[in-house]
Amino acid sequence: MIGLKGRLNVIDNSGALIAECINVLKVKTKKKSTGFATVGDEIVCVINKARPALRAESIGPTTGNIQKVRRGDIRRAVVVRTRKSELRPDGRYVNFDDSACVLLNPKGEMIGTRVNGIVSSALRDLPGGAGGPGGRWSKVLALATKVV
């Protein structure tokens, strides 16, 4: 249940560490937007904390993790884990120890190339097939360490 001012861990390799939600985008399947995002919902967030950007003159081979975002950047993200328990179709309630997101560009594609950590499998069961094979979040699910 991420709303305004809600903080999330960023679990991709875009360089951001903590994002703060500033807006919850409308979900087509819901009649009325609640103002809160759960797993699978898109949010607009501002990067509160990011990995220190490497200087151009730094010695050493590039690791491939080029800094894509900086502190204060405004980006879109999809929520992948929540501390608030979510109801699964089989009747279980699942919640995680933290809330996490994966950053997206304005088109809705992932900015980072890797997802570090587990991702809620509620991402898979989204209505409209967003989570299924070929859906919007299929890349996130494929890259995640584990989908639980």
Give the integer Cα–Cα distance in Å for 105 and 54. Answer: 22
Task: Give the number of other CB atoms < 10 A from CB of residue 1.
Answer: 15
Q: Measured from the CB of residue 102, what is the shortest distance to another protein in angstroms? A: 14
Taking a C-beta distance cutoff of 8 angstroms, is the pair 30, 65 a contact? Answer: no
SS3 call for 140:
helix
Which segment (39-47, 59-67, 97-105, 131-139) binds another protein by CB under 8 A?
97-105
Asked if residue 142 binds another protein (CB under 8 A), the reply is no
Kindly tell me which residue out of 62, 93, 107, 133 binds another protein, with binding defined by CB under 8 A.
93
Kindly tell me which residue out of 96, 104, 126, 137 binds another protein, with binding defined by CB under 8 A.
96
Asked if residue 148 binds another protein (CB under 8 A), the reply is yes
Q: Which residues pair with 77 in a beta bridge?
A: 43, 103
Instruction: Pick between residue 108 and residue 127 the one whose CB is nearest to another protein.
Output: 127
Asked if residue 57 binds another protein (CB under 8 A), the reply is no
Query: Checking DSSP bridges between strand 118-119 and strand 42-50, what pairing results, if any?
Result: unpaired
Q: Measured from the CB of residue 27, what is the shortest distance to another protein in angstroms? A: 23
Enter the DSSP assignment of 141.
H
Stretch 100-139 residues interacting with another protein (CB under 8 A) = 100, 117-118
SS3 call for 49:
strand
